[in-house]
Structure 1
Amino acid sequence: MYVETTFHDAVEQETSLPGWRQEYRQVSTGGYDGRTAAILLPGVEILRETISVGTEQVFSAPEGSVIFYYYPKLDESELARGERALGVSGFALNWTNRIGFMDAGSDLPMLVLRRSAICDEERSSKAQLVEAPLEHAAFLADWLLSLLGAASQQSYPYAREDVDELLADLITDRFELLFQTSIFCEIPQIAKAEKIYKKIRDRILDAPDRPHTVRSLSRELGVSAFELRASCQSFSQIPLDKILTLLRLNGARRDLLQARCAPRKVSDIAMDWGFFHWSRFALRYRSLFGETPSETLKS
């Protein structure tokens, strides 16, 4: 079965991937334009997710699954020379309560497989990521994209139920071979920065109306201001001071969307998220989301 859906808000796209738990927050300016496409087969799901703006994503993959991902490298200098722009690829074994950042214009193909079908539990019990050879991963990612492309044009050659299982087996066989020839990794170094970033965002979201500063967060979390800034920058590629504002603006947007059904004043929502200067809040909000808080409330 083929499914394709478009979205105009990060909150709408959170529920687009079957079996996933997700929260999306917009972290770069511009109107939101997102799309998901999926081919659902027995025990196998081919997914493609595109988003026009940068996003912070908190997510958990379906339980008992292994995720193959291929995130293309957008390097204009390589493309100008006609060389293949490879990316980041691999298998994720324990994607539970994770955080990631996607660039503006992201295009991410993924494959969801049953863990029991391809995974050597004894070998992978201590690993979180399995690094796949880029050339092989890029070839198989192109194959997945070609299947999605054919399905979107209604020329999907495997539309009959009697061959769905055959295609699922073929996909599993190819990716099991890639998995077995990949490199198992211990918890990556970036995990420490991710843990610190989680503490920062949890503190902001637990008390959004408080006037948080880098110094106050340093005292409350017991982490030096230097380490807070460095961890946030290395993990998100966004300065900590800006992250503090982005998280609160996204929180205000969520409440504005909910207020369409349970009316509230925009000014009250702004104050709930620590914005006490109305015009400054409206300016920052419009700069990020491409519309005013009042327009969000009335849409």
Structure 2
Amino acid sequence: MDGAWWHDLRSGDIDELAMHLNAFQWRYDQLGAGYFFGHLAEIDLPHVTVFRERLNHSTRQSGSLPPGTIGLVVPWSTGGAMWMNGVCMTDARIALSDRAEVEFCTASDADYAFAIVDSAIIEDALESTGARMAPHLHRKLSIAQLPGASGSALRQLFTIAHGSLGEVPDSLRADTARRLLADQFTMELVEVLSKAAPAEERNGALRKRVVDRARDLMLGHLDEPLSILDVCKHVGASRRKLNYCFQEVLGTTPLAYMRAIRLNGVRRDMLACGGKGEGVYDIAARWGFWHFGQFSADYKHHFGELPSHTLQRGKDCLIRR
């Protein structure tokens, strides 16, 4: 169901969720294996957009927010862990992005809320209240410790918007009600931006540097994947340490992560292949899958369908265009 201010999307196609966020520069990769299902609800308020998303499999999401906005993310439930730029999220933490790239990893059965607010509105509110954005939040992605009662206040506002996921909130049908809720979100975000303290994450930056070096190396050899021992040698870490860093930063192992990223790359290329005349094997080989039988089995396990079916869907979409 869609309205002028309320939207509800339920999909088994992970890329459809990304396309719905068309104002974002956003990408999803499915990390967990099996049929995917996602539910994304959106409420458009004056200068504020409020979302809630529920996913049945772990994902990696990356990109940037719409220009001229500041965003915040809070866990809705504690059913599955979330990692934002390598830091594990908890109920007492919030992620804030001010003109910064975001990397967001979710565990299975993820449920979280996020909002974006026009930067100009935030700047006006800061000026009118005599407050200033905390320096550690300016023009970056930060994980912050929620000040005072801000955690419960934000959750109350998100509950008004999306307490019953997938149902139009009757309390917001009036324009005045939506305007008041937007004002409340703005003022609460000003409170957070001016008073939130940095979330302490011991050794978090070091772990993320190890993971980033390993990923850069592995992504540079997609057509001929490196062994995990080669990766360890180049980044100067033991296999145990590398596994630990990946688990802490991304919630998965190096091998599982790279296999998932490569499988997602194959899937995305097959859906976008159009009239290039490439077959499944051509695309799979480009992503470093040389043992076609094993690739086909891994692909079906990960996405719940054969690669040939995905390729056919890509061709069918081209014909419908």
TM-score calculated relative to the size of structure 2: 0.77
Which deviations, in whole Å up to 9, do the C-alpha atoms of 1:112-156 show, x marking residues without a partner?
233424572354457823211597524532431332357954453
| 2:9 aligned to which of 5, 9, 13 | 5
Corresponding residue of 1:267: 281
Q: Cα–Cα, structure 1 residues 283 and 185, in superposed 2: closer, same or farther, change >3 Å?
A: same
Residue by residue over 1:233-258, the C-alpha shift from the partner in whole angstroms, topping out at 9 and shown as x without a partner, is 22122121222322211111111111
For the 8 Å contact 1:68–1:89, the answer to whether it is kept is no
Question: Is the CA contact (8 Å cut-off) linking 2:25 and 2:63 kept in structure 1?
Answer: yes
Q: Alpha-carbon deviation of 1:224?
A: 2.5
**Superposed, which structure 2 residues align to 1:102-141 within 5 Å?**
102-113=106-117, 114=119, 115-116=122-123, 117-118=125-126, 120-121=132-133, 123-124=135-136, 128-132=142-146, 136-141=150-155
2:236 is the alignment partner of 1:223:
yes
Partners of 1:134 and 1:55 in 2: how far apart? 31
Deviation at 1:268, TM superposition (A): 1.1
How many residues align structurally?
288
State the 1:56 CA deviation: 1.3
Whether 1:37 and 2:41 are equivalent positions in the alignment is: yes
1:228 deviates by 3.1
CA contact (8 A) 1:88 1:134 kept: no
* Paired residue type of 1:130: A
Confirm whether residue 23 of structure 1 aligns to residue 27 of structure 2.
yes
- Cα distance in structure 2, aligned partners of 1:236 and 1:17: 23
Say if 1:153 and 1:287 are closer, same or farther in 2 by CA, change over 3 A. closer
Task: Structure 2: state its 5+ residue gaps.
Answer: 81-89, 314-321
Q: Tell me how far apart the structure 2 counterparts of residues 62 and 155 of structure 1 sit (CA, whole Å).
A: 25
Do the aligned partners of 2:17 and 2:38 also contact (CA within 8 Å) in 1?
yes
| Alpha carbons of structure 1 residues 185 and 253: separation in structure 2 relative to 1, 3 Å | same
Q: 1:185 Cα deviation (Å)?
A: 4.1
Deviations 1:219-239 (A, max 9, x none): 4x4433444333212212212
2: CA distance, partners of 1:134 / 1:261: 57
C-alpha offsets along residues 252-274 of structure 1, whole Å, 9 cap, x if unaligned?
A: 11111112554421111111111
Residue 47 of structure 1: aligned partner: 51
- State the percentage of identical aligned residues: 22
> 1-side partners of 2:97 and 2:279: how far apart?
44
Show the counterpart of 2:316: none
Residues 89 and 134, structure 1, Cα contact 8 Å, conserved in 2: no
Greater mean deviation of Cα atoms: 175-184 or 285-294: 175-184
TM-score, normalization by structure 1:
0.82
Give the AA of the match of 2:310. Answer: T
Q: Say which is worse superposed, 264-273 or 16-25, in terms of deviation.
A: 16-25
Is 2:206 aligned against 1:192?
Answer: yes
Equivalent residue in structure 1 for 2:261, among 213, 227, 247:
247
CA deviation after TM superposition for structure 1 residue 104, in Å: 1.1
Secondary structure of 1:87 counterpart? coil
Are positions 1:74 and 2:70 aligned together?
Answer: no
Aligned equivalent of 2:91, options 82, 87, 91: 87
Distance in 2 separating the partners of 1:142 and 1:159: 18
Gap change, CA 1:151 and 1:41, over 3 Å in 2: farther
Q: Secondary structure at the match of 2:105?
A: strand
Q: Give the CA deviation at 1:207.
A: 3.0
